[in-house]
Amino acid sequence: MNTKFLAILFLAALLSACASTPESTTRPSDPPLSRQATLVESYSANEVMIRAVGLGNSMAEARDDARKAAIWFALMGGTNSLLTNAEQREAFRDHEAEFWANAMRYISHEGDLLSRRQEAGQDRIERAFRVNIANLKADLAARNIISDSRELAEAIANPVISVIARNPEGNDRHAASVFSEYLQDRGFEVVVLDATQRVDEIVQQAAALEGNIDPMYMLALQTGSDIYISIDSEVAERRVAGNRVAQSTVNATAYYTATGSQLGASSGYSAERAIAGGAALTGEAANDAADKVLGQLTRSWQREVQRGKAFKVVVNASPEIGDISRNLHQLFNDVCNRVRRNAAGSTSFDYTLNCDGPRDAMDLLILLEDNYIGPGQVFRVLDSGAFLIIRIGDSDTDSIIIE
């Protein structure tokens, strides 16, 4: 009897164990069951922190599913996802099993378990993961799912960007520096400035002709940048349970220099934590803001360059040569595919041009010199990136006064 009783107990225990650990129904190469994930912060130019939910018949399955969900979010779930269009997502389907099977290649750090519960007979867990975006992009480019960043830069002529700190005192300058480092790591050419730097008088006159006397706009013109981004930051402090905690916010607004029109805007935030100084928090918030603005900037710039590179051109004409407004307008239409006259006086003219051929203001100047038909000659006053000031007259020695 004892032997039979023990055998029955053993069989019952075995059946119970089998029932509590159901067989796995997913393979490592399967896509995630969960598509629940949120961006926590941009940890750096190459890594983002993502909080993801995982589902599975065991804790191990749920953890693997959460990893895949975090990678899925980086690929196609966030506002700045790596796969930005239907063509890329279709190409990804041919390779996705390889990405899911090698999920750990893209996980730089895995946080502690944040929550666990049973949901519809499955384990449901939540963890935070640091996802290596650089590795993901490299593998996507290697399989021709997306363009390599260097190839893309060549194809669309990546813009030169001025990052301008509104207030060089305090954390604004630090925020601008961190923001620029993020953009440089993504392949952009960046100039860091602050709003108190001196603006050349002729640049001030050119900006005033259009009625825009914003000092940051004038600085961007002076540097010849295609895009400028204004940066301001603040650190808010409070006391929680007797401890001093702080959180940083960085606000970034991007503009096209040639037109002065807004391209995009976003705010970045750091985590709220106890810390002695605000610089580290400001760095976190600046990375977060840069990550958000970068998506807006890239998409908008790709659309913009399809029209041709944008230039701001200011012309000062000598009164002695008479009215050249018709000659000038015809000249711009001959060499560029999109022409907009912003402002004009009796001898001064302000234009925005979109041109396919020239890559900088010097290239455009050569085109204008070669194609101008009218009284006088074309003389260069200032060329800087996407900004050109020319004089049309009999001599280049006359004083320049833009009215």
**Residues pairing with 379 in the sheet:** 391
Contact 258, 310 (CB under 8 A): yes
Q: Which residue has the tokens 């593998």?
A: 139
pLDDT of 19 = 44
Q: Are strands 189-194 and 122-132 parallel, antiparallel or unpaired?
A: unpaired
Contact 32, 65 (CB under 8 A): yes
Q: What is the pTM of this model?
A: 0.70
CA dihedral of 291, 296, 297, 303, whole degrees rounded to 10: 150
Q: Which residue has the tokens 């006391």?
A: 239
3-state secondary structure of 316: strand
Q: What is the pLDDT of residues 101-115, one digit of tens each?
A: 999 999 999 999 999
Contact 117, 157 (CB under 8 A): no
The residue among 78, 42, 77, 72 whose CA lies nearest residue 54 is 72
pLDDT of 104 = 94
Distance CA 318, CA 394 (A): 8
Q: Order of strands, edge to edge, in the sheet holding 309-317?
A: 338-344, 348-355, 309-317, 387-393, 377-384
Distance CA 400, CA 381 (A): 8
Q: Give me the numbers of helices (H) and strands (E) for the chain, helices first please.
A: 12, 14
CA dihedral of 364, 256, 317, 376, whole degrees rounded to 10: 10
Element (H, E) at 17: helix 2-20
3-state secondary structure of 336: coil
Indicate the length of the chain as a whole number: 403
Q: What is the pLDDT of residues 293-352, one digit of tens each?
A: 887 887 777 777 778 888 999 999 988 888 899 999 999 999 999 999 998 878 899 999
Distance CA 190, CA 195 (A): 16
Contact 225, 160 (CB under 8 A): yes
DSSP symbols for 25-39: ---TTSPPS---EEE
Three-state SS across 177-206?
HHHHHHHHHCCCEEEEEECCCCCCHHHHHH
DSSP symbols for 215-256: HHHHHHHHHT-SEEEEEEEEEEEEEETTEEEEEEEEEEEEEE
CB-based burial of residue 381 (10 Å sphere; 0-12 exposed, 13-18 middle, 19+ buried)?
middle
Element (H, E) at 6: helix 2-20
CA dihedral of 178, 179, 183, 185, whole degrees rounded to 10: 20
pLDDT of 80 = 73
Per-residue pLDDT of the chain (403 residues; tens, 9 = 90+): 455 544 555 555 544 444 444 555 678 889 999 999 988 877 776 888 899 999 999 999 999 999 999 999 999 987 678 887 889 999 999 999 999 999 999 999 999 999 999 988 899 999 999 999 889 988 998 999 987 655 555 554 678 899 999 887 778 889 999 999 888 887 788 999 888 888 888 888 888 887 777 888 899 989 888 899 999 999 888 888 778 888 899 999 999 888 888 888 888 888 887 776 678 888 888 988 888 888 788 777 777 777 888 899 999 998 888 889 999 999 999 999 999 999 887 889 999 999 988 888 999 999 999 999 989 999 999 888 889 999 998 876 555 556 5
pLDDT of 197 = 86
pLDDT of 14 = 46
